[in-house]
A = this chain, B = another copy of it.
Amino acid sequence: MHRTKVRIVEDALDANNTIARANREDFDRHHVTVLNLMSAPGAGKTTLLERAIGEPLPGVRAGVLEGDVQGSIDADRLATLHIPVTQLNTGNGFGGECHLDANMVRSALSELPLDDLDLLVIENVGNLVCPAEFRVGEDARAMVCSLTEGEDKPLKYPLMFRACELVVVNKLDLLPHLEIDLDKLLYNIDVVNPDVTVLTTSARTGEGIDELRDWLTELAHRRVSATAAP
Contacts and interface: CB of A to CB of B under 8 A. Distances in A.
A95 interface: yes
A128 interface: yes
A10 to B, nearest CB: 9
A68 interface: yes
A45 to B, nearest CB: 11
Interface string A138-149: 000000001011
A93 interface: yes
Given A41-B156, A146-B42, A98 B69 contact: no
Contacts of A68: 156
* Complex copy number for this chain: 2
Interface stretch (A1-9, A113-121, A213-221): A1-9
Nearest to A180: B42
Interface in A159-199: 159, 171, 173-174, 177-179
Greatest chain B CB density within 10 A among A42, A130, A158 is at A42
A209 B196 CA distance: 39
B95 A149 contact: no
Interface in A1-51: 2, 5-6, 8-9, 40-42
Interface of A: 2, 5-6, 8-9, 40-42, 68-71, 73, 93, 95-98, 125-130, 133, 146, 148-150, 152-153, 155-159, 171, 173-174, 177-179, 204
16 contacts: A6-B95, A8-B8, A40-B40, A41-B128, A42-B148, A42-B149, A69-B156, A70-B158, A71-B155, A71-B156, A126-B128, A127-B127, A127-B129, A146-B148, A173-B177, A174-B178
